[in-house]
């Protein structure tokens, strides 16, 4: 007698992730150019878009410089570099995303900016195109709901600098479907990254822990517990951190740090996340860190000079 035994049902085998062959990136700042860099090196044609044409020129120059550094360290060959740079096109026009299978949004960390981007973006996309946001803190469920495709919307949170840092946090919104998750997870692995899955709570895992520590370092400075170099040296040598918290804040961007604290404060309604008034003041002054030449350090000097 032959018994017909059906194989155990494996949900994973039933869900075919959509292939990602062409990528779009929105925002040519430090994160957008890093994401473009790793996608192009992994063999994917990339369209990079910014509102500012000069941001695109700067992004291309930064990418070429960073790839040159990788060539000098024998991480990639000069042929790899040339082929990767040739895969990148830039545009200020959303029509350029018509063929994209995935668009990764890496524009300024402001919810109204991102919402406005999605309303311009979605009518230009093919129906199957996935959208990922590189937001550091904003609700993926809420951002996804602002699009015409919440089931194809996901958080893909790269770390800075993207070509160097191994981690990508992947965050599903409540409506994100399994093929979208599997496709983005497969892409992250193709880019040589390690994936951590985070739930959709304010600031996810890394920034939920990291940015309140940075905010506390700014409070320590504000209250006169230590100077900029006192605080950074203490955390480098006393806690074995590779960078001090204020140096790291300048590297991330003080506007981004403040936005993340505001999202934590508003989203969790807990006074322990109150942004330090000194951080607010620095941002109001336009002292945003390395990207503007001044933050807790003044980068017009070599080595950078602490400002307090
Ligand atoms: P950035 O200030 O370096 O770059 C932002 C870019 O977005 C600028 O080039 C700006 O011109 C562009 N932009 C602004 N409005 C736009 C619009 N309407 N359309 C298209 N482009 C627009 O900022 P960043 O550090 O690259 O951060 C970008 C995103 O990545 C943010 O969501 C941030 O939270 C996230 N992120 C940042 C870090 C970090 O360490 N800086 C790490 C992980 C994630």
Residue 9 clears pLDDT 50, i.e. is over it:
no
Q: Is 52 in the pocket of ligand 1 (CB under 6 A)?
A: yes
Residue where a domain stops, chosen among 174, 198, 222: 198
Contact 203, 197 (CB under 8 A): no
Nearest-angstrom CA–CA distance, 308 and 297 = 8
Nearest-angstrom CA–CA distance, 27 and 122 = 16
Pairing outcome for strands 167-172 and 153-158: antiparallel
Q: Which residue segment(s) compose the domain that 228 sits in?
A: 207-306
Does 163 fall in a domain? yes
Pure H helices in 223-305: 228-238, 245-252, 254-268, 277-284
Nearest CA to ligand 1 atom 44: 136
End-to-end CA distance of the chain: 85
Mean pLDDT across the chain? 94
Nearest-angstrom CA–CA distance, 103 and 27 = 11
Total domain count for the chain? 2
Residue where a domain stops, chosen among 198, 233, 261: 198
- 187 and 267 both lie in a single domain: no
Does 297 fall in a domain? yes
- 83 and 151 both lie in a single domain: yes
Is 157 designated active site?
A: yes
Q: Please report, for the domain that includes residue 226, its CATH number.
A: 1.10.1040.10
Q: Please report, for the domain that includes residue 28, its CATH number.
A: 3.40.50.720
When pLDDT is cut at 50, 70 and 90, the band that residue 13 belongs to is low
Pocket test for ligand 1, best of 36, 108, 139 (most atoms within 8 A of CB): 108
Chain segment 257-301, per-residue pLDDT in tens? 999 999 999 999 999 999 999 999 999 999 999 999 999 999 999
Concatenate the DSSP letters of all residues of 86-112 into one string. HTEEEES-GGGGTT-SEEEE---S-HH
Chain segment 120-166, per-residue pLDDT in tens? 999 999 999 999 999 998 999 999 999 999 999 999 999 999 999 99
Contact 47, 96 (CB under 8 A): yes
């Amino acid at each position: 007698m032959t018994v017909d035994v059906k194989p155990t049902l494996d949900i994973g085998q039933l869900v075919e992730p959509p292939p990602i062959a062409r990528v779009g990136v929105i925002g040519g700042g430090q994160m957008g150019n890093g994401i473009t860099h790793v996608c192009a090196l992994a063999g994917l044609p990339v369209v990079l878009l910014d509102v500012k044409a000069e941001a695109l020129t700067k992004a291309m120059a930064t990418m070429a410089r960073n790839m040159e550094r990788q060539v000098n360290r024998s991480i990639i060959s000069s042929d790899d570099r040339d082929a990767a740079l040739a895969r990148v096109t830039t545009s200020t026009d959303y029509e350029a995303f018509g063929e994209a299978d995935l668009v990764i949004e890496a524009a300024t960390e402001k919810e109204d900016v991102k919402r406005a981007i999605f309303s311009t973006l979605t009518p230009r996309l093919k129906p199957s195109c996935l959208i990922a946001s590189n937001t550091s803190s904003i609700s993926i469920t809420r951002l996804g709901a602002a699009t015409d495709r919440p089931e194809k919307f996901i958080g893909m949170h790269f770390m800075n600098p993207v070509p160097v840092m191994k981690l990508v946090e992947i965050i599903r919104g409540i409506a994100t479907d399994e093929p979208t998750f599997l496709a983005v997870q497969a892409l992250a692995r193709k880019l040589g990254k390690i994936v951590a899955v985070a739930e959709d709570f304010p600031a996810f895992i890394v920034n939920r822990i990291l940015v309140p520590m940075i905010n506390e370092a700014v409070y320590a400075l504000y209250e006169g517990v230590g100077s900029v170099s006192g605080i950074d040296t203490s955390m480098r040598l006393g806690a074995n951190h590779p960078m001090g918290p204020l140096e790291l804040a300048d590297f991330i961007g003080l506007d981004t740090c403040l936005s993340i604290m505001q999202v934590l404060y508003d989203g969790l309604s807990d006074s322990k996340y109150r942004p330090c008034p000194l951080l607010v003041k620095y941002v109001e002054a336009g002292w945003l860190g390395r990207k503007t030449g001044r933050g807790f350090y003044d980068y017009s000097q070599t080595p950078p000079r602490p400002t307090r």
